[in-house]
Structure 1
Amino acid sequence: MTQVERLLAIVEHLKQYGKISIEQICERFGVSRDTARRDLVKLEEDRLIVRVRGGAIRPTLTREAICYEDRAHHEAKRAIGRTAAALIRDGDHVLFDASTTVQCAAEAVYVRDLVAVTNSIDIADTLGKSGRATIYLLGGQLNPWHRNIVGTQTVEMLRQYRVDWLFLGACGLSGEGLSSSNPEEAFVKREMIRRADRTVVLADATKFGKTLFHSVCSWEDIDIIVTEQPPDYAFRNMLEQHDVQMLIATGGENR
């Protein structure tokens, strides 16, 4: 068994039982205590576990963790984020939707005098640490699992702003447009689109062809989509018909 396979098995064990000891890792996988400790260190670095005396437990914090099997998927999101961030110029006003891919864009922003509006606690924290942005965190009801702010108060606050760019995450992309599994998030996203001069969708290739329960918007509302690999011909043709520009992210740094 490779280390990756072992790490995946440890994560699955934690999903089921909530905790695991070093002794259990040694017995189950036939490894030394030092190897078991190194595995736990690696998983903690990826925010998949919390190490405790004698083993590890499943994280109790509600931030979204990166699944170990999705490491390549996360790298794609980081590339998408860098490509999107390169669109921003000094002094721009940008609305950041709450999504893991949009957060990757926030992490890659290196402009000066940015004015940022967001309903994401993590994005506000990321931009705040950069020291390059004035940040407006939207109010409303906290969703502790997604670490974002939603609700009617959020929408009312959004109506006070007008921005150059909206960086929008998406759960589903189909011929009908963007969709979300959460009605409150879909409601907030629709108002965000109304407040922006240009809307940029940040979406990895797994989102193409998916239609979820709640519609967010049609393609007429989207200006640019950033992804790591192009969709099939029919989807590309549909984007062209709606004058949606497509940017393909690369692995290089955009600074």
Structure 2
Amino acid sequence: MGEQQPKSSKPMTKLRPDDRRDRVLKALNTNASLRITELARTLNVSTETIRRDLDFLHEKDLVQRHYGGAVAKSVGSEPPWAERLIAFADVKSAIARSAIKLFSDKDVLMLGPGATAYTFAKHLAAENRRLTVFTNNLAASSCFAPDSRTRVVIAPGEYDPAEGCTWGPETTEFIGKFRFDTSLLSVSGLSALGGTEVVSGIAWAERAIVAQSARTVLMVDHSKFGNTCLELVCKLDDVDILITDIAPEGELLEALEEADVEIIVAEE
């Protein structure tokens, strides 16, 4: 008898278009950094099929398209903190490195919540510069060594372990007592309406930060473009500089130019 041939694996059942698009949307909600090629491999379809699905979901205003893929639009929720740290990690580092170039020694900075702000703190701590950094981002404050030349002032308030920051009446009152040369914020969404946040308490703190800052810098990757979340933090007129990884286009670009916002595209 000849050798027994291995059985071929059973082909994946072909999904109906609606079911496949549901899976695409669920995948993007779970992992914002998925690319078209990864989605095609996961669902066992061609990249052209995924592109058509993403175009369809974009027309339904369920995803925001970008080069190489898309991100799911969000109004009232964000991925967990740990997932946000991983998503677009190289992009966050590039944005942080570009932001650090904006400051001189002895400047007073205010660093807001968020994963990109945390990444900025890691890079700034490594440079050990003579700056004063106010922050309500406890995760970011932990980046600085005890013997660091950077002075770190932590805003009091209710600690939110899901966001790694403080917020509440004590936080906004504390922020209102100071003036900052520059504030650095990484909002949940950025559209022609302005910067928006998912968590109401964080939005209150960030509005106070913007009000007390001579210059406001948004550190926002392209996945936030076109998203309008629960609460408005700042209008584009309140923003001086946007640091991102891919230049915005269309309505957002027009609104940024009209508001005279300087756009810096970070290089990885």
TM exceeds 0.5? yes
Q: Is the 8 A contact 1:81 1:103 kept in 2?
A: no
Unaligned runs of 5+ in 1: 1-11, 16-62
What's 1:122 paired with?
Answer: 139
* TM superposition shift of 1:112: 2.5
Question: Is 1:214 aligned to 2:231, yes or no?
Answer: yes
Task: Give the whole-Å Cα distance in 1 for the aligned partners of 2:84 and 2:220.
Answer: 18
What's 1:85 paired with?
Answer: 100
What's 1:247 paired with?
Answer: 264
Which letter maps to 1:202? M
Amino-acid identity (%): 26
What's 1:140 paired with?
Answer: 157
Report how many aligned residue pairs link the two structures: 189
Which letter maps to 1:120? N
Aligned equivalent of 2:121, options 103, 106, 123: 106
* TM superposition shift of 1:111: 5.7
* TM superposition shift of 1:130: 7.0
After superposition, what is the alpha-carbon deviation per residue over 1:88-138, rounded to whole angstroms, capped at 9, x for unaligned? Answer: 211110000011111111122226321010001111111345712111100
* TM superposition shift of 1:159: 1.2
What's 2:245 paired with?
Answer: 228
Instruction: List aligned pairs for 1:149-188, cutoff 5 A.
Output: 149-188=166-205
* TM superposition shift of 1:66: 3.9
What's 1:205 paired with?
Answer: 222
Q: Is the 8 A contact 1:66 1:74 kept in 2?
A: no
Instruction: List aligned pairs for 1:44-83, cutoff 5 A.
Output: 64-66=81-83, 73-83=88-98
* TM superposition shift of 1:183: 0.9
Which letter maps to 2:216? T
Structure ranking higher in strand proportion: 1
Unaligned runs of 5+ in 2: 1-26, 31-79
The 4+ residue runs of structure 1 with deviation greater than 6 A are: none
TM-score of the two chains, using structure 1 as the length reference: 0.70
TM-score of the two chains, using structure 2 as the length reference: 0.67
Which letter maps to 2:206? K
